[in-house]
Chains A and B, each alone.
Chain A
């Protein structure tokens, strides 16, 4: 069976198999999901009719899980495992149907195993989440425009803070590895698909089920705990907290699956000749990041399960009266939480390291250094979690060691700067949209990194912890570095993913609005934090008025810029300029395939003979 035979098959419309699979799609999923949730809800009501918070939480939590399971059943996620169970594996036609062969747009609404479809699904999903999170950020800043504005009340404000936080964190975790890790990465390494296509679809649809659950938090009293959901506050919180817990558990499963899938793909499915030192740096970064999530996220899941048990059946993991401890939550949370910020950051930086050589027409400076830098960050990130707990009172004697490990992260981080600077040095930068991201990252990540050193230092953290300074710091790293990288990646790979160029003029306008607004917003917030404004406050004193007003103005600029970007993406996707196969003259494999990309990516399996950074004059 050669690949050419397949090409012929793909042109003729195949006969879809006459099995249940063909009948299922997102609509059936939603119907079954809603039915499951309703049945669970009313059954729960009849079982536990007492009007107690514990019972309410129990019913809500179970109903939310029922929705997720029902949806997955309804969309056909369990058909594969079930058919395996009864010993009737899926037939070739069914596999092809699942891969979306000859289905047009409808495959985006099915349980489709094609990695390119999953990539687009992730892209749209991430954009929706960023839009929702961004809108909430605008509302937060609007409320903080003047002291005592009372634009929203404290309850809604706290919910906004929590929902903005968790929506953005989830969105940023998948913002690079979701769309580009699924769509681009397999083509980049010359693979025909992901290692586990069905798991790939599962990871996306699991995440999809979590989105309505998270949104439902609004109707059950919001998430009044911030995204960190510290216990015992989270145990005390109202019904919206259940939504948070279910979302996190679903998301942890989804990211473990996606992590195992991407890692396996990269380890076992690289094209012939693609040795480890010829793998594009984005692939290395994305793999490292998702592989890091595999051991990190389960501890978050455990922490949320404990919170769920505390809330629904009366256990005492976090209740000090019965021997529980809030510190336990903080440990479990930050053991996940600190690797997690690098899960967010590393793919963003890796995208820009992929972009810099293309637009400076110069090889990636010191590939080994880049890999060592990324690996060093990963290694250290598992040893630093308690720097979030300097002032928690838990074993102050360990603050010293954690300070040492935390500050050591500045060394591998510095290596990443060296790689980027070495790459653009003596190059002639081609000022396209993606390249602008490299410069934005250098500035933003510099500020984020240096302020991180202040916070890692115990005497300074004694003052700054829990203040707006911290908020500004991590927005500089997560938004200024990781999101900038992802947007640059979108501009860079947009031609490959949609077949059209991203509109340049609106792209530039958006870039400058967002970046300038971002500086105004968060430099103002640094000032507010230094003055002593705690984070997550619905109201503040006159002393902070100027800093907060400046921040809010910056936030509106960012907001307008993001709307322009959204316009740019939607407009270009529909009627942008048709893109040539390789508009940037790049040398990675994804630019060797024409749009629309053939179902199995390559007509003939590519063979790699060098790394993809062979730019530059060959004088030597």
Chain B
């Protein structure tokens, strides 16, 4: 996804370039994974400390558990549909559009979840407590993933439609994008599991 200078700058075979790009994307996934891990660590750390009983105040509100899982669903569908498509290239035309549409729906859902947070304090305009802060942050990370996922899915859909998505090199790119979509699904599930443990 990241570069295509190989026609000029590198004289390597598409497989070589493809493996290289896959490694690069996987390293970026490691970085993103560390970021998600840091958030999950923070979530449980604050939940266990529960300083001043402020994790979830007595009258505190939470996201519903189901909403977390509902928001992981588009990622899962997208990962399945993309990875299926890149193995059976004849169905990629349809499946790439499915991937894009599902992620775009997820993006809208995530946005609406974050704009209707139940745990905002009316007067001060702040958050109720540490749970509320963490839930917002995890939702924000999910939103970022949706944006990045939608961008990649849109690109793949357009390229498939235009027919620029042919050749060995493109096959490798679709496989690499597959790792990315799989990771997005995994991280969304991890976030959903995390937010399932709301009350102390």
Q: B-contacting residues of A (Cβ < 8 Å)?
A: 1, 3, 54, 80-81, 84-90, 92, 95-96, 98-99, 113, 192-193, 195-199, 256-257, 259-261, 263-264, 267-269, 291, 294-299, 301-303, 305-306, 309-310, 313-317, 320-325, 327-328, 331-332, 335, 600
Contact = CB atoms under 8 A, between A and B. Distances in A.
In the A-B complex, list the 8 residue pairs whose CB atoms are closest, starting with the nearest: A323-B54, A314-B126, A323-B130, A315-B133, A298-B35, A260-B27, A299-B38, A302-B38
Given A99-B9, A323-B52, A331 B24 contact: no
Contacts of A195: 3, 20, 24
Contact of A198 (B3, B31, B52, B125): B3
Contacts of B5: 90, 95, 98-99, 113, 193, 197-198
Contacts of B27: 259-260, 263-264, 291, 294
Contacts of B10: 192-193
Contacts of B4: 80, 84, 89-90, 95
A416 B69 CA distance: 50
A370 to B, nearest CB: 24
Contacts of A325: 45-46, 49, 51
B11 interface: yes
Given A259-B31, A295-B30, 10 more contacts: A84-B155, A89-B4, A89-B164, A192-B10, A256-B31, A257-B28, A263-B23, A302-B42, A306-B137, A313-B127
Given A264-B24, A267-B23, A296 B137 contact: no
A301 B20 CA distance: 26
Contacts of B137: 305-306, 309, 315, 317
A324 B133 CA distance: 9
A395 B27 CA distance: 33
A322 B130 contact: yes
Nearest to B151: A85
6 contacts: A86-B158, A197-B9, A309-B137, A320-B51, A322-B54, A324-B130
Contacts of B45: 325, 327-328, 331
A268 B38 contact: no
A79 to B, nearest CB: 12
Nearest to B54: A323
A564 to B, nearest CB: 40
A294 B37 CA distance: 13
B59 interface: no
Given A294-B27, A309-B136, A80 B3 contact: yes
Contacts of B125: 54, 314
A322 B3 contact: no
A299 B34 contact: yes
Contacts of B131: 323
Interface in B51-82: 51-57
Contacts of B38: 298-299, 302-303, 332, 335
Given A84-B155, A85-B151, A197-B9, A316 B49 contact: no
B7 A299 contact: no
A328 B42 contact: yes
Nearest to B161: A87
B118 interface: no
Given A85-B154, A259-B31, A295-B31, A322 B129 contact: yes
Contacts of A295: 30-31, 33-34
Nearest to B55: A323
A314 B127 contact: yes
Nearest to B200: A323
A96 B4 CA distance: 12
Contacts of A301: 35
B2 A198 contact: yes
A294 B35 contact: no
A95 B23 contact: no
Contacts of B56: 323
B16 A268 contact: yes
A302 B39 contact: yes
Contacts of B34: 294-299
A85 B51 contact: no
B159 interface: yes
B72 to A, nearest CB: 20
A328 B46 contact: yes
B8 interface: yes
Nearest to A83: B4
A321 B130 CA distance: 10
B102 to A, nearest CB: 18
B100 to A, nearest CB: 12
B186 interface: no
B35 A269 contact: no
Contacts of B46: 317, 323-325, 328
B90 interface: no
B1 interface: yes
Given A87-B159, A323-B130, A294 B30 contact: yes
Contacts of B23: 263-264, 267-268
A294 B164 CA distance: 33
B50 A1 contact: no
Contacts of A96: 8
B54 A321 contact: yes
B124 A314 contact: yes
A317 B38 CA distance: 13
A315 B159 contact: no
Contact of B52 (A88, A196, A320): A320
Contacts of A86: 155, 158
Given A84-B4, A309-B136, A323 B31 contact: no
Contacts of A331: 41, 45
A98 B5 CA distance: 10
Contacts of A320: 51-52, 54
